[in-house]
Amino acid sequence: MPIQIAGALIPKNGGTFYLLEDTYFRGGLRVAADVTARNSLHPSCKKAGMFVWTQSDRKLWQLQADLSTYVEYNPSVFYTHSQDSPNSVWTVTHNKGSTKFVYNAYDSTSGVMLPDSVISVDSNTIQVTFKIPITGKCTFAFDLSV
């Protein structure tokens, strides 16, 4: 049975103990020793969208709506594509879930290039086109708020 609280919780005895233990919460941010411990969380402790930090591999995971699938959470807004074989069309699979970005393109000597076109194929793929086959890199910064 839930207890309604109208004020702040304050520890007794000088606050030398945990006020609340995270193992008793549902959702939010949890810490697990490893992926096995993460996958063993009791169903009553799971909530779609919650995060679990696994100490063994130092990764942050987000629980999906099916309450059994975890996806590694990487909030980085940056992505660098390296094109090691000459091609006039670079297909960039960034998996950022966004079509809003800024970019810079560089040839293999770090000279700035201006592509003929840069288009979002979908929210995880960009196509960069040049007049001739070329190698180099393209860096992207994404707006992940949309």
Mean pLDDT per segment of 10 residues, for the chain of length 146 residues? 72 63 69 94 87 92 93 84 97 94 94 96 97 96 76
pLDDT value at residue 1: 64
Torsion of the alpha carbons at 64, 146, 58 and 30, rounded to the nearest 10:
-50
Classified as helix, coil or strand, 70 is strand
Measured in whole angstroms, the distance separating CA 105 from the mean position of its chain's CA atoms is 24
pLDDT value at residue 20: 63
pLDDT value at residue 126: 98
User: Model pTM?
Assistant: 0.52
In this structure, what token pair is assigned to residue 124?
């995880």
Q: How many whole angstroms separate alpha carbon 128 and alpha carbon 143?
A: 18
pLDDT value at residue 3: 74
The residue assigned the tokens 């990487």 is: 74
Pairing relationship of beta strands 59-63 and 51-54 according to DSSP bridges = antiparallel
